[in-house]
Chains A and B, each alone.
Chain A
Amino acid sequence: MSLIRYAVVALVPATLAGLIYAVASGLGQSEVTAQRFVNLQEGASPHAGFRRAHAKGFCLAGDFESNGALASYTDAALFQQGQTPFVGRISIAGTNPTAPDMRSPVRSLALSFGTGDADSWRTAMNTPPVMAVATPEAFYAQLAALAPDPATGQRDPARIQAFFASHPETRAFLAWQKTYVPTQSFASERYHSINAFYLVNREGRRQAVRWAAVPAAPVANATPLDAENPQALQDEFMARLKQGPVVFDLVFSLAGTGDDENDPTVPWPETRPAISAGKLIIRATSAESAGNCKDINFDPLILPRGMAATLDPILRARSAAYAESYRRRARESL
C-alpha cells in the first residue's frame, strides 16, 4: 500500500512536468513555429541586435494629415480629419544590416502611430502588391528554397523553379516581379499593406481594405545613383529631405464581392474604389539607435480601435514571428 502512495506522490508531479515540457517543446504545433521561422530567416550566423528580416534601415519622423475621407468607414481617431504624428522606418528586405541598398529586391516602409493607447497603429508595407504564397508553411518553404546552399553559398535555380512550379498561387507575384522596375529613390516607390484588414465604423460595420503609400507627386532624381555606393538609396533620401518633406498619399482600396480578404496572393481588380485617407509627410530621418524606431516592433496586429485583423493566416504568422525576432534582438541589446 505505501508503495502505491509513494508512486502517486512521484507520478503526479512527474506527469505534469512531462506535459509542460512537451507543450514547451512543440506538442500540438504545426511543423513551422515562430522559432523555426526566425531560425531560418537569421541563418547560421545571425546579426546580433538586428531585425531578423529587413535588417538594414533608418528611422523616420513625420505627420499624417488625415482628410477624414475614411471617417464613415472607421472611428479610428487617426482617420478623422486632423493631424497625427508618426515615427517610422524605411528598410530593405534581407538579414544583412550592411547589405548594399541597390541589391535588395524589396523595399519597405513601416509606420507607428501612438505608443500604447487604444489608438495605436503599426503597419509594415512592402513594394510588392501581393505575397507569393498564402500560408506560413508555404512561405517557409519559399524561404528555404531561396536560401543559398550552405555548401556552395549559391542559390539553387532548380530548387527555386521547382518551388514556384508546385505553387501556382505565386502567379500574380511572379507577374509583378517581371514588370517591376526598382526606382532610383525610396521616395518614388509604392509600399503595399499586402495583407487585408477591416475598417470598423461606429455601427460595427466592417469593410475589408488594403492600403498603399503612393508618392503624392511625381518624383524625379536630380542625378543618377552611384550603383557602387552601398548607401546609395539612404544617401539619396537624406539629401532629398534637405530640400523639403517627402510626401506619400495613403490610399485605401475597398474589397468588393468576390475578393477574398484572407488571401494575400490575389490582387483585387483595379476598378475597386480607392480612397485617399490623407498625406504621410516625412519630415526627418535618423540612424537607428536606442530611443527611436529601433525600439519598435512593427507588428501588423497592433491595430487602433476602428480597425480589425482579417483571418489571413500570413498576418497571424507575421505577428508571432515578429515577436520572436523582437525578443531575440532585445536580448542581444543588453
Chain B
Amino acid sequence: MPDLKPDMQPSDTYSRAARIMHWAMALLLFSLIFAGLAMVQSLQSWHLPLITLHKSFGILALILAVIRLVIRLTHVPPALPDNLSAAQQRGARGAHVLLYAAMFAMPLSGLLMQGAAGRPVEFFGLFTIPALLPVQLETYAVLRELHGWGAWGLIALVLLHITAALHHGLIRRDTVLRSML
C-alpha cells in the first residue's frame, strides 16, 4: 500500500473542500439559470442590475469551476457502491464529466459572446475584462446559441443528477447521497 497523505485516503465521503464547493456552486448555478431565463425576457428596470450581476456571478462561477476541478483532480473521490453494475458506474461517471463540461461551457460561452459582441464585462465593479475575441456576428451567434441551449443541457443534467442522488439516498439507501452531505 503506497503512503498516502490523509486526504488522499479513499473514504466514504467527499473531502470537506469538495462538499463546500458542491453546495456553493449548486446554489450559484441555480441562481444564474433563473436569473438568465428571467432577464432575457424582461423589459423592466431590474433588467440592467440583474444582467450585470449575472455576468459578475457567472465569472465567479468560472473561477470556482477551476478551483473545483483542481480539488477533484487532487483528491480521491469516494468509490461508487459495489452493487452498481458496470454500466451504471459508467453512466454516473459520464454524467459527472458532462456536468464539469457544462460548468465550463456556460461561463466561457457567456464571457466570450460578450467579446464577440464588442461588450466590456465588469467584474463586480472591480475591474473590466476587455473583449477576448474580435467583434464578429457569426462568432456571437454560435456562442449565444451555445449559451442559450447549453443552459437547457445543464438544466437537464442537473435534474437527472438530483433524481439519481435522491434515488441513491432514499430508494437504494447506499452511501452515495451521504458522501456529499
Contact = CB atoms under 8 A, between A and B. Distances in A.
Nearest to B127: A118
Interface residues of A, number: 56
B19 interface: no
Interface stretch (B65-73, B91-99, B139-147): B139-147
B48 interface: yes
A329 B120 CA distance: 21
B118 A320 contact: no
A260 B141 CA distance: 38
B130 interface: yes
Interface stretch (B9-17, B31-39, B56-64): B31-39
Contacts of A151: none
Contacts of A9: 163, 166-167, 170-171
Interface in A284-334: 290-291, 294-297, 299, 301-302, 305, 309, 311, 313, 316-317, 319-321, 323-324, 326-327, 329-331, 333-334
A23 B34 contact: yes
A26 interface: yes
A317 B38 CA distance: 14
Contacts, number: 135
A32 B43 contact: yes
Nearest to B52: A301
Interface string B120-153: 1010000010110011111011101100100000
A82 B114 CA distance: 28
Interface stretch (A12-20, A100-108, A213-221, A239-247): A12-20
B61 to A, nearest CB: 17
Contacts of B162: 12-13, 16
A13 B34 CA distance: 15
Contact of A290 (B117, B122, B136): B136
Given A5-B171, A116-B118, A333-B137, A321 B43 contact: yes
Contact of A327 (B122, B130, B144): B144
B88 interface: no
Contact of A117 (B130, B140, B144): B130
A6 B171 contact: yes
B117 A297 contact: yes
Contacts of A37: 43
B37 A20 contact: yes
Interface in A102-127: 112, 115-118, 120
B interface, how many residues as a size bin? Answer: 35 or more
B115 interface: yes
Contacts of A144: none
A6 to B, nearest CB: 7
A6 B34 CA distance: 27
Contacts of A10: 163
B128 A118 contact: yes
A8 interface: yes
Given A20-B33, A20-B155, A120-B118, A33 B42 contact: yes
B34 A330 contact: no
A320 to B, nearest CB: 5
B40 interface: yes
Nearest to A36: B41
Nearest to B117: A297
A33 B39 CA distance: 10
Contacts of A33: 41-43
B14 to A, nearest CB: 21
A32 B118 CA distance: 28
A297 B118 CA distance: 9
Interface in A53-86: none
A146 interface: no
B38 A23 contact: yes
A29 B48 contact: no
Nearest to A27: B38
Given A116-B120, A319-B47, A295 B38 contact: no
A18 B48 CA distance: 26
B170 to A, nearest CB: 4
7 contacts: A16-B159, A17-B159, A30-B42, A117-B120, A118-B120, A320-B40, A330-B141
Interface of A: 2, 5-6, 8-10, 12-13, 16-17, 20, 23-24, 26, 28-30, 32-35, 37, 112, 115-118, 120, 136, 290-291, 294-297, 299, 301-302, 305, 309, 311, 313, 316-317, 319-321, 323-324, 326-327, 329-331, 333-334
Given A290-B137, A302-B120, 5 more contacts: A9-B163, A29-B41, A313-B43, A313-B44, A330-B141
